A and B are shown apart, each in its own frame.
Chain A
Amino acid sequence: GQQVQQSPASLVLQEGENAELQCNFSSTATRLQWFYQHPGGRLVSLFYNPSGTKHTGRLTSTTVTNERRSSLHISSSQTTDSGTYFCAIDMDSNYQLIWGSGTKLIIKP
């Protein structure tokens, strides 16, 4: 089965609403990274977060390792947040990332 599952597959919100993206994985992850992919294709690392909670600006990532899940919270969403968000894990400490299928986020003005 799929080792990294992201939900929802797509999410449409009005500007100003909060977004909650989920990532569940089937095995213990030694590393977990959240990425944002611009509509034009560019990939940007948001968080390296194997456990605990991290914040940057309006973004918060929380990873609960023993429950094999991570979440990405976007507060007060903006139209520029639109794009696809990926969760990727490394299970074997060999730096090979396994990727989820992503959550496509659309923020309407």
Chain B
Amino acid sequence: EAAVTQSPRNKVAVTGGKVTLSCNQTNNHNNMYWYRQDTGHGLRLIHYSYGAGSTEKGDIPDGYKASRPSQENFSLILELATPSQTSVYFCASGGYEQYFGPGTRLTVL
């Protein structure tokens, strides 16, 4: 199975602060994704990428930026964090079948 890692695993941020969530995959997948999951719900797509240098908006991109500097790394950036962005964030890689990282629990106070 694809190996996808995320850091940090837990993060507490203050409103208005900048937050960067990092994702690394070691299986040479072209496509990578960032999702958020709110309590009791399925995942919603924030940004995705088709390869190094590419970022695309998903269903809920407002308030988020993404960066794909290399095949292996995909970052999600919250320039001005807000309490509504408190959630669990998942990174995934893959094409026909997606493989997920362990998630990052972000709390914005």
Residues on A facing B (Cβ under 8 Å)? 4, 31, 33, 35, 41-45, 48, 86, 88, 95-97, 99-102
CB contact between B45 and one of A4, A43, A48, A96 (< 8 Å): that residue: A96
Q: 7 smallest A-B Cβ distances: which pairs?
A: A99-B42, A43-B100, A48-B97, A99-B43, A41-B103, A101-B42, A95-B31
Residues in chain A near residue B90, CB distance under 8 A? 43
Rounded to whole Å, the gap between the CB of B94 and the closest CB of chain A is 8
Binding site for A on B (CB under 8 A): 1, 31, 33, 40-45, 48, 58-59, 88, 90, 95-100, 102-103, 105
- Measured between beta carbons, the chain A residues less than 8 angstroms from B48 are 95-96
Is A97 a contact of B102 with CB atoms below 8 Å? no
How far, in angstroms, from A5 to B42 measured CA to CA in the complex? 11
A51, B105: Cα distance in complex, Å: 34
A45 to B44, CA, bound (A): 17
Knowing A41-B103, A42-B103, A95-B31, say if A33 contacts B43 (CB, 8 Å): no
- Chain B residue with the shortest CB-CB distance to A9: B40
- In whole angstroms, how far apart are the Cα atoms of A41 and B48 in the complex? 21
User: Which residues on the B side are within 8 Å of A88 (C-beta)?
Assistant: 42-43
Contact call B96/A31, Cβ cutoff below 8 A: yes
- Cβ-neighbour of A45 out of B45, B59, B98 (below 8 A): B98
Docked Cα-Cα span, A48 to B99, in Å, equals: 11
A41 adjacent to B102 (CB under 8 Å): yes
A33–B43 Cα distance when bound, in Å, is: 13
A102 pairs with B97, CB closer than 8 A: no
Distance to closest chain B CB from A22 (angstroms): 15
Please state if B40 and A101 are interface contacts (CB–CB under 8 Å).
Answer: yes
Across the interface, do B41 and A101 meet the contact criterion of CB distance under 8 Å? yes
CA distance A101 to B88 in the complex (A): 15
Contact flag A33-B103 (CB < 8 Å), given A43-B90, A96-B58, A99-B42: no
Q: In the complex where A41-B102, A95-B31 touch, is A86 in contact with B97 (Cβ < 8 A)?
A: no
Contacts of B103 in A (CB 8 A): 41-43
Q: What's the Cα separation between A99 and B103 when bound, in Å?
A: 17
